[in-house]
Chain A
Amino acid sequence: DAGVIQSPRHEVTEMGQEVTLRCKPISGHNSLFWYRQTMMRGLELLIYFNNNVPIDDSGMPEDRFSAKMPNASFSTLKIQPSEPRDSAVYFCASSLEGFTGELFFGEGSRLTVL
């Protein structure tokens, strides 16, 4: 397995534009997480899904952020409209609930909003 796959790896956009980040979890994993990493706040959990259902989205900063998981092998995190303060590295991670408790991370998507 190639592990958790995220795209794009880098995204530079202008304020006000829509940004869509994509994630393919490890096959067979039933939980998927979106995290945001910044120097100031470290790793913040934005939302997590279990069996494709959003369980906890309390970390989503505001209505400009939305996430979907239409099937077990794909998830998106959308920011519309984007703002400079959204600049960060966004990580997707997956796990198999109840197994080892280990999270497997993607390589991250570095977003820069000008």
Chain B
Amino acid sequence: AQRVTQPEKLLSVFKGAPVELKCNYSYSGSPELFWYVQYSRQRLQLLLRHISRESIKGFTADLNKGETSFHLKKPFAQEEDSAMYYCALKGMGFNKFYFGSGTKLNVKP
């Protein structure tokens, strides 16, 4: 069965510290993985997707098929990174998105 797990509901770090938001998935086919972010009073929006292999706002995420993980990382957190982060999975060729329960990142000054 398809499943996206984000084990941390809340993650607090100090400004300048590294941050890693964990995401594990379960999917029998070829998944596409995404990170979505929701800043305060803003719409949920795409942050990055694994097929693009890009860095957005200093964040990167690598798909590890062996560990079925897609952790989101940033070497130096900024206060403006404080937001709710959702990991999402979509089956290749399908249009149904599965979201994790979300991790609230709080970056303290």
Contacts and interface: CB of A to CB of B under 8 A. Distances in A.
A interacts with B:
yes
Interface of A: 3, 31, 33, 35, 41-45, 48, 50, 55-56, 91, 93, 95, 97-98, 101-103, 105-108
Chain A interface SS verdict (over half): strand
Which of A55, A102, A103, A108: most chain B CB closer than 10 A?
A103
A31 B43 contact: no
Contacts of B36: 103
Given A42-B86, A43-B86, A43-B102, A33 B97 contact: yes
Given A50-B95, A101-B90, 19 more contacts: A41-B101, A42-B101, A43-B86, A43-B101, A45-B96, A45-B97, A55-B96, A56-B96, A91-B44, A95-B95, A97-B95, A98-B95, A101-B34, A102-B34, A103-B36, A103-B97, A105-B43, A105-B44, A106-B43
Chain B interface SS verdict (over half): strand
A43 B53 CA distance: 25
Given A48-B95, A50-B95, A95-B95, A101 B102 contact: no
B49 interface: yes
Query: What range describes how many residues of B lie at the interface?
Result: 20 to 34
A42 B96 contact: no
Given A3-B43, A107-B43, A102 B99 contact: no
A101 B34 CA distance: 9
Contacts of B96: 45, 48, 55-56
Contact of A43 (B43, B46, B99): B99
B59 interface: no
Given A101-B49, A102-B49, A31 B95 contact: yes
Given A101-B32, A101-B90, A45 B99 contact: yes
21 contacts: A35-B99, A41-B101, A42-B86, A42-B99, A42-B101, A42-B102, A43-B44, A43-B99, A43-B102, A48-B95, A55-B95, A91-B44, A93-B44, A95-B95, A101-B32, A101-B49, A101-B90, A102-B34, A102-B46, A103-B36, A103-B46
